[in-house]
Amino acid sequence: MTVTTSRGLAWAPLAEVDPELWMAIEGERERQRWKLELIASENYVFRAVMEAQGTWLTNKYAEGLPGKRYYGGCEYVDVAERLAQERALALFPGAEHVNVQPHSGAQANMAAYLAVLDHGDRIMGLSLAHGGHLTHGSPVNFSGKWFEVHSYGVEPGSEVLDYDAVERAAREVRPAMLVAGASAYPRTLDFERLAAIAHGVGAVLFVDMAHIAGLIAAGLHPSPFPHADIVTTTTHKTLRGPRGGLVFSRADLSPELKARYPKLAKTTLAAAIDKSVFPGVQGGPLMHVIAAKAVALLLAATPEYREDQRRTVQNAQLLAASLRERGARLVSGGTDTHLMLVDVTPLGVTGREAEALLDAVGITVNKNAIPFDANPPNIASGIRVGTPAVTTRGMGASEMREIGELIVAAIAGRADPVARDRIADAVREICARFPVPGLPET
Ligand code: DSN
């Protein structure tokens, strides 16, 4: 197509304007329809969330906060942002303040750090190799470059956190911030204990609840509120919203704790968080995404959503049992959440090989390091498996048993192309029975 004037193109559908891109978008729709999505951090948004994100709110600049913008014409986007704020605070009782503008989880985390810390301050977070996150102090991330990082890990043997050991380390290191939360830790986190550890050494407790936010909203995992001082989340994982982040905080720190942070000398924690998001880390907020966050937060308050979260956890336990019965080793022995970490070396493969073998039959997972992994991270000994997306599709107990069987069969039958084709057919058959909510069939 030759583009001569924008006028003629104003109403042209994407498929006509950019067929090359459209083919990729269509390919992704088909992939989502016909593959089993077991990446623990992924989910499918409902139509109303997608619709809100696809609106003309994308056209609007709205730097600042509702009622205090640097641009005119913000009366409607103010409504959208206020709805998102109110719904976020209602969904997580005990939260005193929220900023709904972070474009992502990493930016929410950056805003959290920069609100209270100075370059060179000490932080303690769960090591990436033991299930933490890049932004919790990895040397390749800003968090590891700007702060002095002292990571904690899980215990050898049990592969779970030993809070006494975390406390001993905190007393020795005396961090300015204790970071809690994980992207590959299958067990319940004790936020009350972590708060006692942090506050006992005069440190802020920062919880990144991105993976388990939906479980917390549904009352299936203990809440970090009111224990943590700052809490971030993404909105697109178990929360089933658009890609983006939220930062919650106390209105302010206690005077004793606050005295340690020069950045808070003349301001409240809530005001510091807002300033840290904008203008500290970001410019104009993505108002169409904030509108979609508002919809997701509305949906997350429904009984249907809570029931889906309950089924997500139940499905994870059933899938874990199915894998374990067939010879896979579950890190820490199982799961309390929506995800499990599977050591695939007893099945004779590395995490990288398992990821590729599963992809070939239509099952999508990611390779993942296991604690004390003998393999480097790009090979890894494990895969991370999560049930949010398959549960959103409506799958239940019998599918979890079957998926466990198919995963192990795909790895065990790796030299057998006939077995591979049979497994791929079984995957498609499951997908055909469970259409993806919110995804057009054609
Ligand atoms: N990359 C995300 C995950 O897969 O867990 C965390 O941000």
Distance CA 101, CA 94 (A): 20
Question: Could you tell me if 186 and 258 lie in one domain?
Answer: yes
CA distance 103 to 97: 18
Strands (E), 172-300: 177-180, 204-208, 230-234, 245-249
Residue 134 and residue 183: Cα distance in Å, rounded? 9
**Residue where one domain finishes, among candidates 247, 274, 299:** 299
**Nearest CA owner, ligand 1 atom 2:** 41
Q: Are residues 289 and 180 in the same domain?
A: yes
User: In the structure, which protein residues have their CB atom closer than 6 angstroms to any atom of ligand 1?
Assistant: 41, 105, 133, 183
CA triple 357-358-364, angle to 5 deg: 140
User: CB–CB of 337/221 below 8 Å?
Assistant: yes
Kindly state whether residue 146 falls inside one of the protein's structural domains.
yes
Per-residue pLDDT at 242:
98
Q: Are residues 69 and 147 in the same domain?
A: yes
Query: 140 and 272 share a domain?
Result: yes
The catalytic residues are 61, 63, 208, 234, 237, 243
Verify that 61 and 182 share a domain, yes or no.
yes
Ligand 1 atom 1: residue of nearest CA: 41
Number of domains making up the chain: 2
Residue 385 belongs to a domain: yes
Boundary of a domain, candidates 284, 299, 314: 299
Same domain, 343 and 251: no
Question: Are 260 and 121 contacting, i.e. CB atoms less than 8 angstroms apart?
Answer: no
* pTM over 0.95, yes/no: yes
Q: How many angstroms separate the CA atoms of 315 and 338, rounded?
A: 8
What residue numbers bound the domain in which 88 lies? 53-299
CATH number of the domain within which 184 lies? 3.40.640.10
pLDDT in single tens digits along all 442 residues of the chain: 455 556 788 899 999 999 999 999 999 999 999 999 999 999 999 999 999 999 999 999 999 999 999 999 999 999 999 999 999 999 999 999 999 999 999 999 999 999 999 999 999 999 999 999 999 999 999 999 999 999 999 999 999 999 999 999 999 999 999 999 999 999 999 999 999 999 999 999 999 999 999 999 999 999 999 999 999 999 999 999 999 999 999 999 999 999 999 999 999 999 999 999 999 999 999 999 999 999 999 999 999 999 999 999 999 999 999 999 999 999 999 999 999 999 999 999 999 999 999 999 999 999 999 999 999 999 999 999 999 999 999 999 999 999 999 999 999 999 999 999 999 999 999 999 999 999 998 8
> Are residues 153 and 281 located together in one domain of the fold?
yes
Q: Is residue 18 part of a domain?
A: no
Q: Based on the domain organization, do 202 and 315 belong to the same domain?
A: no
Query: The CATH number of the domain where 343 resides is what?
Result: 3.90.1150.10
Say whether both 338 and 198 belong to one domain. Answer: no
> Does residue 312 lie within any of the structural domains?
yes
Instruction: Clarify whether residues 199 and 320 are in a common domain.
Output: no
The beta strand positions in 282-417, using DSSP E, are 329-330, 339-343, 363-364, 366-368, 382-386
Give a yes or no: residue 22 inside a domain: no
In this structure, the number of other CB atoms found within 10 A of the CB of residue 91 comes to: 22
Please indicate, yes or no, if residue 162 is contained in any of the structural domains: yes
Amino acid 4: pLDDT: 55
Q: What is the CA radius of gyration of the chain?
A: 23
Atom of ligand 1 minimally distant from the CA of 211: 5
Cα 332 from chain centroid (whole Å): 21
Kindly give the distance from the C-alpha atom of residue 211 to the centroid of ligand 1, in angstroms, as a whole number. Answer: 8
The Cα-based distances of 305 to 59, 367, 405, 411 in angstroms read 31, 29, 28, 34
Six token digits for residue 32: 């989502």
C-alpha to C-alpha distance for 152 and 163, rounded to whole angstroms: 10
The pick from 107, 183, 365, 385 for probing ligand 1's pocket by mutation, whose C-beta has the most ligand atoms within 8 angstroms, reads 183
Which residues make beta-bridge pairs with 367? 383
Residue 59 inside a domain? The answer is yes
Pocket test for ligand 1, best of 237, 337, 364, 366 (most atoms within 8 A of CB): 237
> Among residues 276, 299, 322, which one ends one of the domains?
299
Give one DSSP letter per residue of 214-232, joined into a string: HHHHTTSS---TTT-SEEE
Closest C-alpha residue for ligand 1 atom 4: 41
> Burial of 255 by CB count in 10 Å (0-12 exposed, 13-18 middle, 19+ buried)?
exposed
113 and 65 in a common domain: yes
Pair (335, 203) in one structural domain:
no
Would you state the pLDDT for residue 441?
Answer: 86
Structural domain includes residue 184: yes
